[in-house]
Amino acid sequence: MRTADGRIVLGLHRSGHARDLLEAAADLGIKRIDTASNYLRHRSHEILKSTAGDLLPHFSLSTKVGFFPEGHSVDPARLRTAVEQAVKDLGREPDVVFLHNPEHSASDTGRLGLACAALADTARAGLCRSWGVSTWDPRPLVDCDVPCPDVLMVRAGLLVGVDVLEAAESLATRWRPSLLWGMSPFGGSTAQQVWERFDPRVFLRESAPATKAQAAFRSAYGLPRVDAVAVGTDNVDHLRELTEALAYEVDENVVQEYRQLLKARQLA
Ligand SMILES: NC(=O)c1ccc[n+]([C@@H]2O[C@H](COP(=O)([O-])OP(=O)(O)OC[C@H]3O[C@@H](n4cnc5c(N)ncnc54)[C@H](OP(=O)(O)O)[C@@H]3O)[C@@H](O)[C@H]2O)c1
């Protein structure tokens, strides 16, 4: 088994949760997997336990609560019950439990602090090691105050608009998480036309022999600057390609120029 750091988080949002994939991830030295109570039609936790329960101790496991079969909720009591259920379904305490897309209960952002406090309580009670907030669209949250999360997860990469990028950065400044994670570096799919139309290798230093997917993935660590990136794949070759991408260096000047272009376009 290779040793790798925790900079890649294997995200299971679009995954079939095949055992082979998790075995390969462990072999590639991937240390983190990320799921949510609602992934795989609300069955991700129980499927993980039944197909790969013995592999789970190899990983730091994060999950998310907030989406219920009846809809989204940030109600503190429901969130606590969801964490208790996650522990039962997984057969272990998660390392991180995120509040999942709290912006979905936008009219409830006044209660966001209470929802976060409820998750912090579950960590104190030993139901999980740490807690965080994962947000697809941080813009409605930028004026909210919450207890300091252990991890904040935001969208990252070349497809993130400047308004979302800036909102994520201001949330990180305001909430001071111990770790900032990025997610969805391909915007959910590498089959989108945008990836055919432009070559993200311009973001890498010198002429690295990288693939376009590697360049897009590696660039995501700087937009915004994050400690780890949650990326999805069910393909072991793709996963290997992603682990190898970490060796490439990003040209910070190109990233800065790109940000200036995004900003100029927003203001135009
Ligand atoms: N709000 C939230 O909390 C939230 C929202 C979205 C995502 N996330 C997290 O972020 C994770 C990743 O998001 P995502 O899966 O939506 O989007 P993503 O990582 O941007 O894209 C996943 C797609 O990229 C393809 N891909 C990955 N590596 C590739 C490679 N080397 N070459 C070619 N194609 C490649 C995969 O196809 P193949 O299977 O064919 O490789 C997959 O269809 C999720 O699983 C979840 O953990 C969280």
pTM comes to 0.97
- pLDDT score, position 146: 93
Ligand 1 in reach of 231 Cβ (< 6 A)? yes
- Distance (Å) from CA 184 to ligand 1 centroid: 5
Helix (H) / strand (E) containing 52:
helix 44-52
- Distance (Å) from CA 45 to ligand 1 centroid: 19
Question: From CA 226, how far away is CA 15, in angstroms rounded?
Answer: 23
- Structural domain count, the chain: 1
Question: Does residue 207 carry a pLDDT above 70?
Answer: no
Place of tokens 């929802």: 115
Residue % of the chain over a pLDDT of 90: 92
Q: Ligand 1, residues 238, 239, 244, 246: which to mutate, most atoms within 8 A of Cβ?
A: 238
Cα→Cα distances 262→27, 163, 220, 259, Å: 39, 9, 15, 5
User: Looking at ligand 1, which atom is closest to the CA of residue 64?
Assistant: 3
Ligand 1 in reach of 234 Cβ (< 6 A)? yes
Contact residues for 108 (Cβ-Cβ < 8 A; gap 6+): 74, 102, 115
Other C-beta atoms closer than 10 Å to the C-beta of 32 total 21
- pLDDT score, position 109: 67
Q: Which residue has a Cα nearest atom 43 of ligand 1? A: 189
Residue % of the chain over a pLDDT of 70: 96
Q: Does 3 map to a domain?
A: no
Q: Does 28 map to a domain?
A: yes
Ligand 1 in reach of 230 Cβ (< 6 A)? yes
Per residue in 90-135, pLDDT tens?
999 999 999 999 999 867 667 899 999 999 999 999 999 999 999 9
CATH code of residue 256: 3.20.20.100
Question: From CA 161, how far away is CA 168, in angstroms rounded?
Answer: 11
Ligand 1 in reach of 40 Cβ (< 6 A)? no
- Distance (Å) from CA 118 to ligand 1 centroid: 29
- pLDDT score, position 158: 97
Ligand 1 in reach of 91 Cβ (< 6 A)? no
Ligand 1 in reach of 76 Cβ (< 6 A)? no
Q: Does 21 map to a domain?
A: yes
Q: Does 65 map to a domain?
A: yes
Ligand 1 in reach of 242 Cβ (< 6 A)? yes
- Distance (Å) from CA 186 to ligand 1 centroid: 6
- pLDDT score, position 206: 77
Q: Collapsing DSSP states into helix, strand and coil, what is residue 71?
A: strand
Pairing of the two strands 130-135 and 151-155: parallel
- Distance (Å) from CA 267 to ligand 1 centroid: 30
Least confident of 1-5, 80-84, 93-97: 1-5
Q: Does 161 map to a domain?
A: yes
Question: Does residue 248 carry a pLDDT above 50?
Answer: yes
Question: Does residue 147 carry a pLDDT above 90?
Answer: yes
Question: Does residue 255 carry a pLDDT above 90?
Answer: yes
Q: Does 1 map to a domain?
A: no
Q: Does 2 map to a domain?
A: no
Ligand 1 in reach of 63 Cβ (< 6 A)? no
Per residue in 39-67, pLDDT tens?
999 999 999 999 999 999 999 999 999 99
Q: Does 140 map to a domain?
A: yes
Residue 3 confidence class, pLDDT cut points 50, 70, 90: very low
CB 188 within 8 A of CB 159: no
User: Between 44-52 and 76-90, two packed helices, what is the crossing angle to 10 degrees?
Assistant: 20
Which residue range forms the structural domain that includes residue 26? 8-267
